[in-house]
Amino acid sequence: MIGAIKEAQKLPFRTFREDSVRVINTCLDGVMVLEPRVFEDNRGFFMETYHRGKYEGKILRSVFVQDNLSHSVRGVLRGLHYQLHRPQAKLLQVIRGAVFDVAVDIRRGSPSFGKWVGYELSEENRRQMYMSEGFAHGFCVLSDLADVVYKCSAFYSPEDERSLLWSDPDLRIQWPVRDPILSLKDNRSPRLRDIALENLPEHEGSDTISSVGRIPLFSSSEQAREDRQIS
């Protein structure tokens, strides 16, 4: 299993718009960065954070059934979490502060098994991150406070929840935090190589419809350059 774990390769990218939503495909099939159109003037701004007619069936196939709000302080790291039998696709956005958001492909049989991508989501860049079912998800907080809102395609199921060690050395996730604030459960999660295959979700193909371009994986040190490139 562990021999399949490799870092995602850097690839060229292109972007496109789908009904006023800029879609940026990442190097992981099933993970996208979305930039909804923002209407801004001297009063402030307005944006659609989700429109079923524009998202569902055109950009992605997930049907969302639950909305969550997570409030955290600087240095908190939550993850890496997934559900096994009731996997959740997620659409995330930060409405206060900034986080480094990470998705890890743990779908057995996936060509990108063990690879990860990470992007900064903030109230300033107003980006969203979408991941399909079968990814482990986590984020760390870069600002004093952060509020993360996200949609899920399946209801939260405590008995079905699983976790993956945030600092798994085989994954080599480049978290931009040294000594994160962790829950006891997250600190004791297993490494990917120690999780039995039957306790990992199965790869069933991508549920993202758009596949025009790719953007590369980058570390926190490359963040500023990458943001300038796709802005």
DSSP the chain: -GGG--PPPP----EEEETTEEEEEBSSTTEEEEEE-EEEETTEEEE-S--HHHHBTTTB-----EEEEEEEETTBEEEEEEESSS---EEEEEEESEEEEEEEE--BT-TTTT-EEEEEEETTT--EEEE-TTEEEEEEE-SSEEEEEEEESS---GGGEEE--TT-TTT----S-SS-B--HHHHTPPPGGGS-GGGSPBP----B---S--B----GGGHHHHHHHH-
Catalytic residue chosen out of the listed positions 55, 82, 119, 150: 150
Whether 81 sits among the annotated catalytic residues: the reply is yes
- How far is CA 167 from its chain centroid? 17
Task: Determine the Cα–Cα distance for residues 63 and 86; give it in Å rounded to an integer.
Answer: 13
Query: What is the spatial order of strands in the sheet that 135-141 belongs to?
Result: 116-122, 98-105, 135-141, 77-83, 161-163
Whether 203 sits among the annotated catalytic residues: the reply is no
Residue 48 has a CB neighbour count (10 Å cut-off) of 14
Catalytic residue chosen out of the listed positions 55, 81, 82, 203: 81
Active site residues: 81, 150
